[in-house]
Chain A
C-alpha cells in the first residue's frame, strides 16, 4: 500500500526527513510517534503527495507520488489534519459529507446511500453546522467526510488531541472499525502511548527526521533507550509489567495484570499449603 524508498526531504539546507524506507501493507494499522519536530507531519504530507521528496521515491499502490496530482491521490488517500477546522467548510454536516463526491464521478444515488450510511454511524444531526459542534464532533465529521470517499488509506495527524476521553474513544473506535471491517489502512500520528498500545499493532518511531524503530508496538514499548531517544514514555501497564519482570505480552493491561497477580498469589498459597 505504502512504499518509501530512501526518502529525504529538505527545505533550503534543513533536512526534515532523512533516508526513510518503509513498507506498509493493505489493512495494517500503524502508529507513528516521535518527539516534537521529529518530522512526523512532514512524513504524512509526503505520503499524501502534498510535498514531494527531495531524494528517493514514495509509491502509493504502486504509483509514485511524484507523477500523481494530489487530487488524484485524494481518491485513495484520506488525510485528517490535526485541526479539523482546516478541512471543514460545509454549511451542514450533510453538505460536508456530500461535497466532492460529484467530482469523483460517484453517481447521485450511490452518493446519497454513502452519505446516509455514514450518517448512520456518525450519529449527529445532519442539518447541524459542523462549526457549531464540539471539537471531538468536528473531528469525527472531518473523518466521516474522508471516509465517504472510500479511501484505501487514512493518514491521521494526532486525531485525539484536544478530545475528552469519551470523544477520544468514539474517534478511535470509529477508526478501528474502518480498519477492521472495511480493510482501510491506517497510519496515525499519536503522542498517546496508551492509544498506540490499545489500537495499533505496529509502531514506527521517528527521531530527528529518521525512522529509528519499526516493529510490534508491544515490543517497542519495552525498548526504553529507543523511547527515550524519541521523547516517548511507555504505556503505564507495559512499564509496570517490565518492572515486575514479566515477559512481553504476558500481561500488558490492567485486567491481565490483575489476573496475573491473582494467579501468582494463589500459586504461592498452594505452594505454602504443600510445604
Chain B
C-alpha cells in the first residue's frame, strides 16, 4: 500500500541552534496505522510532529533537508493551511492553540473553517462534546477550565474534524487516567471506522503498549527503534538506557523470565499479564 506518510532522510536544525533536532529520519507509515512515539526529552519527537503538520519549516523556521510527504503533499512546498485539511494536530502547549474563548465556539471554529456542510455541524459538535464527556462545559469560557478540561476541548476540536491523519503530541498529559483511556479508545474508533492514521507522541508507555501497533523510539533526532510494540518490549534494558520505562507487566515478565518461569512474549495488558502468571503457576 502507498504510504500516507513518507519521510526520506529528513534533518532539521532550528534557526540559531547548533545541533540537529531531526537527524536523517526515514519513516514510512501506511494508511490506518496506529503508531506510538516515545523517547527522552530533546529526542526530536515534537519536531517530528511539527514536520508532519508543516509547522516545521513554515512556522518554526530553520534548515530543512530531505523530503517529507504527507497524504501526497510535500510538507515544504505545501502551506500549513493545505496540510491541515488532512492532518489534525493537538500539541502539548494547548493554550497556544485556542482561537476562541468559549468551548462550543472552539469546536465550531474548526468545522466552519474547514467548510463542513452547515447542516452537519450541530451533530458533529454534539458528538465531539459527548465523546469527551464535556457536554456540560459547552458554554463555559475556556479560561475558567482546569488544565485537563482544556486538553479535552482541544482534543474534541481535533476529533470533530475526523482528519485522515491525526498527530497528538503529549496531548493527554493533564488528563485523569480514565479520560486518557477514553481518548485512546476514541482514537482506535477513528482508526477502525474511518481508516485514519494515528500518530501519538506520549510518555504514558502503558497506554501506548495497550493501543499502538507500532512503536517508534526516538533519541537525539533519530528513530532508533521502529517495530511492533512487543518487539520493542523485548529489549527492556535498551529502552531503559534510552530513558524509556517499560510497563510494569513487562517488568514482571522479565523477572519471571530471569527465574525461568516464563518464556513467552512480553505481555502488554493486564489480561495478558494475568494469563502469564496463571500459566507460570499451572
Q: Are B41 and A261 closer than 8 Å at their CB atoms?
A: no
Residue of A nearest to B176 (CB): A231
Residue of B nearest to A42 (CB): B146
Residue of B nearest to A264 (CB): B281
CB of A255 within 8 Å of the partner chain? yes
- Which residues of A from 217 to 241 have beta carbons under 8 Å from B? 228, 230-233, 235-237, 239-240
- Name the A residues within 8 Å of B145 (CB-CB): 37
CB of B4 within 8 Å of the partner chain? no
CB of B27 within 8 Å of the partner chain? no
Over the window 164-187 of chain B, the binary record of Cβ atoms lying under 8 Å from chain A Cβ atoms (1 yes, 0 no) is 000000100111111111000000
CB of B31 within 8 Å of the partner chain? no
- Which residues of B from 175 to 210 have beta carbons under 8 Å from A? 175-181, 203, 205-206
Q: Are B281 and A237 closer than 8 Å at their CB atoms?
A: no
CB of B227 within 8 Å of the partner chain? no
Q: Are A35 and B178 closer than 8 Å at their CB atoms?
A: yes
Q: Are B261 and A265 closer than 8 Å at their CB atoms?
A: yes
Q: Measured between alpha carbons, how far is A36 from B206 in the docked complex, in Å?
A: 20
Q: Measured between alpha carbons, how far is A239 from B277 in the docked complex, in Å?
A: 13
Interface size of B as a range: 35 or more
- Name the A residues within 8 Å of B179 (CB-CB): 35-36, 231
Choose among B92, B147, B173, B281 the residue that contacts A261 (Cβ–Cβ < 8 A). B281
- Name the B residues within 8 Å of A228 (CB-CB): 178
- Name the A residues within 8 Å of B206 (CB-CB): 236
Among A228, A237, A255, residue most surrounded by chain B Cβ atoms (within 10 Å): A237
Known contacts being A166-B40, A236-B206, A236-B270, is A34 close to B174, with CB within 8 Å? Answer: no
Distance of B126 from chain A, by nearest CB (Å): 20
Q: Are B203 and A36 closer than 8 Å at their CB atoms?
A: no
Q: Measured between alpha carbons, how far is A257 from B258 in the docked complex, in Å?
A: 13
Choose among A35, A135, A258, A265 the residue that contacts B252 (Cβ–Cβ < 8 A). A258
Residue of B nearest to A193 (CB): B177
Known contacts being A236-B270, A240-B273, A261-B261, is A36 close to B148, with CB within 8 Å? Answer: yes
- Name the A residues within 8 Å of B203 (CB-CB): 162-165, 168
Q: Are A191 and B175 closer than 8 Å at their CB atoms?
A: yes
Distance of A203 from chain B, by nearest CB (Å): 13
CB of B163 within 8 Å of the partner chain? no
Q: Are A162 and B251 closer than 8 Å at their CB atoms?
A: no
The segment from B54-62, B100-108, B117-125, B240-248 that touches chain A is B240-248
CB of A194 within 8 Å of the partner chain? yes
- Name the B residues within 8 Å of A33 (CB-CB): 176
The A interface, classified by DSSP as helix, strand, loop or mixed, is helix
- Which residues of B from 241 to 267 have beta carbons under 8 Å from A? 243-245, 247-249, 251-252, 255-256, 258-259, 261
Q: Measured between alpha carbons, how far is A255 from B254 in the docked complex, in Å?
A: 10
- Name the B residues within 8 Å of A162 (CB-CB): 92, 170, 173, 203
CB of B53 within 8 Å of the partner chain? no
Q: Are A232 and B252 closer than 8 Å at their CB atoms?
A: no
Residue of A nearest to B281 (CB): A264
Distance of A42 from chain B, by nearest CB (Å): 8
- Which residues of B from 84 to 126 have beta carbons under 8 Å from A? 92
Over the window 196-232 of chain A, the binary record of Cβ atoms lying under 8 Å from chain B Cβ atoms (1 yes, 0 no) is 0000000000000000000000000000000010111
- Name the A residues within 8 Å of B244 (CB-CB): 164-165
Choose among A41, A161, A243 the residue that contacts B274 (Cβ–Cβ < 8 A). A243
- Name the B residues within 8 Å of A268 (CB-CB): 281
Q: Are B41 and A163 closer than 8 Å at their CB atoms?
A: yes
CB of A262 within 8 Å of the partner chain? yes
Q: Are B261 and A240 closer than 8 Å at their CB atoms?
A: no
CB of A104 within 8 Å of the partner chain? no
Q: Measured between alpha carbons, how far is A99 from B179 in the docked complex, in Å?
A: 39
Q: Are B256 and A232 closer than 8 Å at their CB atoms?
A: no
User: Which 3 A-B residue pairs are closest in the complex by CB-CB distance?
Assistant: A36-B148, A258-B255, A231-B178
Q: List 18 A-B contacts (CB under 8 A).
A: A35-B178, A35-B179, A37-B146, A161-B174, A162-B170, A164-B39, A165-B203, A166-B40, A168-B203, A230-B176, A231-B178, A235-B248, A240-B252, A240-B277, A244-B277, A254-B255, A255-B255, A261-B281
